[in-house]
Amino acid sequence: MAIENILFDADGVLQYATTHWQPALQSVLGLEDESQARAVVEDIFEAEAEALESEIGFVERLEAVLAKWRRSSFISETLNVLHAIEVRHDVMQTVQAVRRLGIRCHIRSNQQALRARHMSEGLNYRSLFDTEFYSCFVGAAKPKIRFFENVVAQLGCGASAVLFLDDRAENVEAAKQAGLNAAVFFGADGALSLRRQLAGFGVFVDH
């Protein structure tokens, strides 16, 4: 069956963080050393993981993390670090070229609600993609099979008509188990690599 829909992961595929969280947080939070900064990052990762499948709860968890480290007044600075994202413009140009072929393109990403909204509105993904499927709004996160089953149901097509691209092999394998076409793709490899990979699935994009 021909590919009708393509699901793109966000981090590592469409976008990248413009700053490393650990040194950035060490600076903006005035933390004493690298080990303390690493511990704070681990706490924030845990807070994010707990909020990936819910529209609510991340702010409260982040506030608790900052309170633990006696940095309660630094929530804005912390969010600025978490939201420091740059779009891979060559990859995005290819995505738009695919859309012009009549193939629908969507984001399928694990995100907590604040970051998802920043991506949708701040990075304008709501205009650049046909649909945005963020785990916090769908209620399931990769690599759970129902993550992909939910999306296919919403797209209203067969799983074999969907291609999923992600930079993590475990997510790609889960997508295949759900019946999707799937492949590992790293955004850093660039648009040429993306076009070659798409061609392998019968999607041919001009330069």
Q: Is the pLDDT of residue 207 over 70?
A: no
C-alpha to C-alpha distance for 40 and 87, rounded to whole angstroms: 26
b or e along 143-152 (b: 16 or more beta carbons within 10 Å of the residue's beta carbon)? beeebbebbb
What would the mean pLDDT of 11-27 be, rounded to a whole number? 95
Reported as a single tens digit per residue, the pLDDT across 125-175 is 999 999 999 999 999 999 999 999 999 999 999 999 999 999 999 999 999
The answer on pLDDT for 206 being more than 90 is no
Instruction: Specify the pTM.
Output: 0.94
Give percent above pLDDT 70 in the chain.
Answer: 100
Residues contacting 42, CB < 8 A, separation 6+? none
Strands (E), 2-45: 5-8, 15-17
Residues 6+ apart with CB under 8 A from 66: 72, 74, 75, 78
